[in-house]
Amino acid sequence: MDAMHARPPLIVGRYEIITPIASGGMATVYRGWDHFIGRYVAIKALRPPENPTADPHGIERFRREAQAAAKIAHPNVVIVYDFLDDGDEQFLIMEFIDGINLKRLITQRGPLPIARTLHIAEQMCAALAAAHARGLIHRDIKPQNILLTSDGRARLTDFGIVRMLDGDALTRSGIVLGTADYLSPEQARGDRLGAQSDLYSLGVVIFEMLTGTPPFAGEKPVDIAMRHATEAIPLITTRNPHLPRDLEALVRRAVEHDPKKRYRSAVIMGRAISAYRQKLLHPAAFIPAALPSESLGIARPVTPRTRRKRGGLWGWLTRASGVTSWRE
Looking at the annotation, which residues are catalytic?
140
Closest C-alpha to 145, from 154, 136, 135: 154
Rounded to 5°, the CA angle 188-28-121 comes to 50
Cα–Cα distances in angstroms (integers) from residue 115 to residues 233, 247, 273, 294, 312, in the given order: 22, 11, 10, 26, 39
Cβ pair 139, 187 in contact under 8 A: yes
Cβ pair 182, 141 in contact under 8 A: yes
> Furthest-apart CA pair in the chain: how many Å?
70
User: What is the DSSP annotation of 162-215?
Assistant: -EETTB-GGGSSSS--EEGGG--HHHHHT----HHHHHHHHHHHHHHHHHSS-S
SS3 20: strand
Cβ pair 73, 56 in contact under 8 A: no
Cβ pair 297, 264 in contact under 8 A: yes
User: What is the DSSP annotation of 238-268?
Assistant: HH-TTS-HHHHHHHHHHT-SSGGGS-S-HHH
Q: Rounded to whole angstroms, how far apart are CA atoms 206 and 265? A: 16
Q: Rounded to whole angstroms, how far apart are CA atoms 116 and 152? A: 9
What is the distance of C-alpha 253 from the center of its chain? 19
Q: Rounded to whole angstroms, how far apart are CA atoms 183 and 106? A: 19
Q: Rounded to whole angstroms, how far apart are CA atoms 156 and 202? A: 11
